Amino acid sequence: MGSVADIQELLNLFKDVVPDKESNRMVNKFACDKAKWYDAHGLFNTIRDRNLRAIKENNKVKECQYCFEEVCAQTLYNIIRPTAPFDPDSPYWVIKNALALAKALNIPTEEVVNIVAPNK
């Protein structure tokens, strides 16, 4: 994962088309405020609860959204180097889950790639 700025750009890419706009706004609010990153563990728990409901309801688009947002929250939390971090591979899943969400939302995957690996 490139940076927190990449997470913010990805959240902005999806903000108008995700089924749960409130959840997207919450994660973006955390990503934009470094002081909130310690509380990203609680944010993860909130999103996980939503994801478990989406899985139970077989709502694949919401599930994709929440999987993406979960790893964003995990990544933000791990940046502060807590004593009990999430798995260290969390940042790896940001791009993978962003690509899955883009596909679920019918957004060309090139738009994700242009954010995380811009052709300069």
Q: What pLDDT score does 2 carry?
A: 58
Integer distance in angstroms from the first to the last C-alpha of the chain?
A: 17
Per-residue pLDDT of the chain (120 residues; tens, 9 = 90+): 558 999 999 999 999 999 999 999 999 999 999 999 989 999 999 999 999 999 999 999 999 999 999 999 999 998 888 777 888 888 899 999 999 999 999 999 999 999 999 875
Closest CA to 43 of 53, 55, 29: 29
Type of residue at 91:
P
Q: What pLDDT score does 30 carry?
A: 94
DSSP annotation of 84:
S
Q: What pLDDT score does 86 carry?
A: 87
